Chains A and B, each alone.
Chain A
Amino acid sequence: AQSVAQPEDQVNVAEGNPLTVKCTYSVSGNPYLFWYVQYPNRGLQFLLKYITGDNLVKGSYGFEAEFNKSQTSFHLKKPSALVSDSALYFCAVRAGNDYKLSFGAGTTVTVRA
């Protein structure tokens, strides 16, 4: 079985400050890890993924994520948040030999001007 935990329902930051959205996972074997973002009335949009290689992954809109195998974490980060980053963020995992993604419950990010 595979699962994802996003311990924070909400994250509030001021524009220009660093943004971190936490994610921990559980999976058998090597994990494939993803971050998606969901804006109101729109589908999930892919941000970035970790498959193998460098533990620091860079993605869309200035986001990055760090894979930490010992802590089974894959936290999403952005050095300087924008008001337009306000959205619902989902972490997802699947085992390397599986095909379905398991999603966390999501974290609502609010960036205040």
Chain B
Amino acid sequence: DTGVSQDPRHKITKRGQNVTFRCDPISEHNRLYWYRQTLGQGPEFLTYFQNEAQLEKSRLLSDRFSAERPKGSFSTLEIQRTEQGDSAMYLCASSGDRGNEKLFFGSGTQLSVL
């Protein structure tokens, strides 16, 4: 168990640019989640994958956001035409299939949009 890995740890970009984040879950975990956390707030759910299928997207996830999980392994989260309001910590988590399982979180990607 090497934990959940996220890359990069920090990303600074200019408004209007596209950014992509990567998450590598714990290898045997079928479930993968993306959350967003802003200062002073708890993590907010963005989207969820069961294997390669994206089963739910939050209304927070505008059409500028897209997430994929090809082959049910790593996942990417892309933000197109970034806005200053996108500045946040983007967290990835994974879990096993049992309904009562805890989520394992990565250290997150801190996005700053200038």
Residues from 48 to 104 in A contacting B, C-beta threshold 8 Å: 49, 51, 90, 92, 96-97, 99-104
A102 to B, closest residue via Cβ: B45
Size of B's binding interface in residues, CB under 8 A: 25
Q: Which B residues touch A90, using CB under 8 A?
A: 42-43
A14 interfacial by beta-carbon distance below 8 Å: no
How many whole Å from B23's CB to the nearest CB in chain A?
11
- Using CB atoms and an 8 Å cutoff, list the residues of chain A in contact with chain B: 4, 32, 34, 36, 41-46, 49, 51, 90, 92, 96-97, 99-106
Distance in Å: Cβ of B26 to nearest Cβ of chain A: 13
In the bound complex, what is the Cα–Cα distance between A51 and B106 (angstroms)? 23
Contact B42 A43, beta carbon cutoff 8 Å? no
Task: Check A44 against B41 for contact (C-beta < 8 Å).
Answer: no
Instruction: Report the minimal beta-carbon distance from A11 to chain B, rounded to whole angstroms.
Output: 15
- Chain B minimum-CB-distance residue to A32: B100
Quick one: which of A43, A49, A100 contacts B108, CB cutoff 8 A?
A43
Q: Identify the closest chain A residue to B33 (Cβ).
A: A100
B9 CB to nearest chain A CB (Å) = 9
Known: A43-B105, A43-B108. A96 touches B99 (CB 8 A): yes
